[in-house]
Chain A
Amino acid sequence: MANITLKSVRKAYGIHEVIRSVDLSINDREFVVFVGPSGCGKSTLLRMIAGLEDIDGGDLMIDGERCNDIPPDRRGLAMVFQSYALYPHMTVEDNMGFALKLAGVPEQKRREQVQTVAETLQLTPLLARKPKDLSGGQRQRVAIGRAIVRNPKVFLFDEPLSNLDASLRVRMRGELIKLHRQLDATMIYVTHDQVEAMTMADRIVVLNQGRIEQVGTPLELYRHPRNIFVAGFLGSPAINLISATVASSDAAGSILKIGEGDRMTVPHGSLDVGSEVTIGIRPEVLSLNKTGDISGTVDVVEHLGDVLLVYVTIANGQTLVAKLPEASDVDIGKRISLSVDTSWANVFDTHGLALPAPFAGSTKTAA
């Protein structure tokens, strides 16, 4: 069992507040990913949970026990660092057994435990080597192994894949997901990579400027972002954010005017007529349609093999990205018309907050 609860947790360096009152509850065996742009405080928050940074205000509870003043090694956590932070002067075996040695575990037992973990991570042939003789991926595995040997309640990962090349990163991502299932432990994972967040997390915590913007499952956040920041942070290519004006509105829905000619009907009801809004449209909910809602001129076409990314300049001068089937009939310079699956459209007010949609939570899948 390992629940972690943060209650109004704060951190400041001088007058500069890096964590501003964070409330968060992490369940047992959950894989939670902290994601956000650099400087958002995600690493600091992780280090506060680890005990490497002091907590200036609020409570950190691990399994109901207040841990603010408990030293890092007695919180039952293990951390994997971005640089792996292996001890360069020790062999792989000594690296992995270091915590056990400090805890006074007898040598024979220590060796056995290290051996067991080394086998699961395929590190057995490397046990006698020093970190400098290992590849990046191997070092990564040793760092993870060093964490597992301690048999912690919670694993903390601080951007562990960012030093690996792209293909290895994808493979390690899969291994970590598998590991989470095997170990049945709570994991907190920090990354700036939204793809890692989407693929690995049970729940994502989006942080921005020391505050939590939204917490939810990857799909919740992807489909129903609470504000423009979350909408723009998740998804690649990024969500299209189109400025529009409310032309008419009643309880059943609204008609939004984009630029001069285009109009779009959204299910969001009871908006103030004449007010400015931002429509969030994912590239994949757009489709070619001669009588579509939005029309524009094709600027760039990118072939990804399975799909096309089409960049379209629309009536109000903004650029829209559409993800269309490879066989679509689009040419640079040509005018096209696109229709929007409006049940998947998000509408944000002038403060960037999402407006409620009556059909939110629809089970229909995106195109």
Chain B
Amino acid sequence: MLSARQRTTLYSGIAGWTLALCLFFPIFWMVVTSFKTEAEAISGMKSLFFVPTLENYTAINERANYASFLLNSIVVSFTATMLALAIALPTVYSMVFFPTHRTKDVLMWILSTKMLPPVGVLVPIYLMFKSVHLIDSKTALIIVYTFANLPIVVWMLYSFFKDVPGEIIEASRMDGATTLQQIRLILFPLTLSGIASTGLLSIILCWNEAFWSINLTSTAAAPLTSLVASFSSPEGLFWAKLSAVSSLAVAPIILFGWITQKQLVRGLTFGAVK
């Protein structure tokens, strides 16, 4: 017989695993499909057992230069995230530690820009970039991603900075710390995991972004999302190849997230387990 406590552990364990498997299954299926032939891929459950093949990956490699797409994704995601953090950090510092009675309104206004459907501003933004010859450039994507993610970065940092008692910053002011020293010696060490997880989330959002990358780039600056999209062609869907290219697209970021997940979990639960 199990005690009530053991039973609770068992049930919550089963529930947890079920949920995790449900969330993981599509990715698992995608990776498995990427090693099938196209014929096996569309046959569904009939091809539960198959001989793995690398033909899809070879096909992709023949058709496109994966490395250049990967490089674009990395450059665009990391640069946009760095820029967003560079803008957000001083902004949030002043909003948290020197608030006015309008600070809440500013925060809401920043968030409200996320409520606008991107497609609503596609044409003006496209035309603007066209007039400055930035179509199909990484610069254009970086600019769009930086500002598209800024509201989320600001809100997350705001909640992390808010957890730092104002008196600690004031104490450092009394101790003679300049504004930069207050940020570098007090605020950063106390909010590092929060800043890291904010940055990680921003990188993931940039990496996954497809709407702007498909519309603003063609070849030179196209990131991995554009590469994936190019495989859903008008000639019909090639499930196995699509799976292979998708696996290639998500692999780097999953790996990156996995390595930094300790930071992420700590950051996301910062307020709760402090």
**Is A79 part of the binding interface, using a Cβ–Cβ cutoff of 8 Å?**
yes
List A contacts of B189 (CB < 8 A): 89
List B contacts of A81 (CB < 8 A): 167, 170-171
Q: Chain B nearest CB: distance from A98 CB in Å?
A: 5
Contact B171 A85 (CB under 8 A): yes
List A contacts of B176 (CB < 8 A): 73-74, 99, 102-103
List B contacts of A150 (CB < 8 A): 175
**Is B174 part of the binding interface, using a Cβ–Cβ cutoff of 8 Å?**
yes
Contact B167 A85 (CB under 8 A): yes
Chain B window 235-246, contacts with chain A (Cβ cutoff 8 Å), 1 for yes, 0 for no? 000000000000
Of chain B, the residue at the smallest CB distance from A75 is B174
**Is A82 part of the binding interface, using a Cβ–Cβ cutoff of 8 Å?**
yes
Contact A73:B190 (CB < 8 A) given known A83-B167, A102-B181: no
**Is A50 part of the binding interface, using a Cβ–Cβ cutoff of 8 Å?**
yes
Q: Chain A nearest CB: distance from B172 CB in Å?
A: 7
Contact B171 A79 (CB under 8 A): yes
Q: Chain B nearest CB: distance from A102 CB in Å?
A: 5
Q: Chain B nearest CB: distance from A117 CB in Å?
A: 14
**Is A78 part of the binding interface, using a Cβ–Cβ cutoff of 8 Å?**
yes
Q: Chain B nearest CB: distance from A182 CB in Å?
A: 22
Chain A interfacial residues counted at CB < 8 A: 25
Contact A98 B172 (CB under 8 A): yes
Chain B window 135-176, contacts with chain A (Cβ cutoff 8 Å), 1 for yes, 0 for no? 000000000000000000000000000000101101111111
Q: Chain A nearest CB: distance from B257 CB in Å?
A: 26
List A contacts of B174 (CB < 8 A): 50-52, 72-73, 77-79, 99
* Alpha-carbon separation in the docked complex, A50 to B176 (Å): 12
302-360 of chain A: CB within 8 A of chain B: none
* Alpha-carbon separation in the docked complex, A81 to B168 (Å): 9
List A contacts of B171 (CB < 8 A): 79, 81, 85-87, 146
List B contacts of A86 (CB < 8 A): 168, 171
Contact B177 A87 (CB under 8 A): no
**Is A88 part of the binding interface, using a Cβ–Cβ cutoff of 8 Å?**
yes
Contact A85 B170 (CB under 8 A): yes
**Is B87 part of the binding interface, using a Cβ–Cβ cutoff of 8 Å?**
no
**Is B186 part of the binding interface, using a Cβ–Cβ cutoff of 8 Å?**
yes
* Alpha-carbon separation in the docked complex, A52 to B101 (Å): 18
Q: Chain B nearest CB: distance from A12 CB in Å?
A: 13
List B contacts of A102 (CB < 8 A): 175-177, 181
Contact A83:B181 (CB < 8 A) given known A52-B174, A73-B175, A102-B176: no
Q: Chain A nearest CB: distance from B168 CB in Å?
A: 5
List B contacts of A98 (CB < 8 A): 172, 175, 177
Of chain A, the residue at the smallest CB distance from B186 is A87
Of chain B, the residue at the smallest CB distance from A103 is B176
List A contacts of B168 (CB < 8 A): 85-88
Of chain A, the residue at the smallest CB distance from B168 is A85
* Alpha-carbon separation in the docked complex, A82 to B170 (Å): 12
Of chain B, the residue at the smallest CB distance from A83 is B167
Chain B window 183-202, contacts with chain A (Cβ cutoff 8 Å), 1 for yes, 0 for no? 00010011000000000000
User: Which residue of the partner chain, among A51, A83, A99, contacts B175 with CB atoms under 8 Å?
Assistant: A99
* Alpha-carbon separation in the docked complex, A175 to B36 (Å): 79
- Most chain-B Cβ atoms within 10 A of its Cβ — which of A78, A88, A103? A88
* Alpha-carbon separation in the docked complex, A52 to B97 (Å): 12
* Alpha-carbon separation in the docked complex, A144 to B177 (Å): 19
Q: List 25 A-B contacts (CB under 8 A).
A: A14-B101, A52-B173, A71-B173, A73-B176, A77-B174, A79-B171, A81-B170, A81-B171, A82-B167, A83-B165, A85-B165, A85-B167, A85-B171, A86-B171, A87-B168, A87-B172, A88-B190, A89-B189, A89-B190, A98-B172, A98-B177, A99-B174, A99-B176, A103-B176, A146-B171
**Besides A50-B174, A72-B173, A146-B175, 18 new A-B residue pairs in contact (Cβ under 8 A), listed by A number:** A71-B173, A73-B176, A74-B176, A77-B174, A78-B174, A79-B171, A81-B167, A81-B171, A85-B167, A85-B171, A86-B171, A87-B171, A89-B190, A98-B172, A99-B176, A102-B175, A102-B176, A150-B175
Interface residues of B (CB under 8 A from A): 101, 165, 167-168, 170-177, 181, 186, 189-190
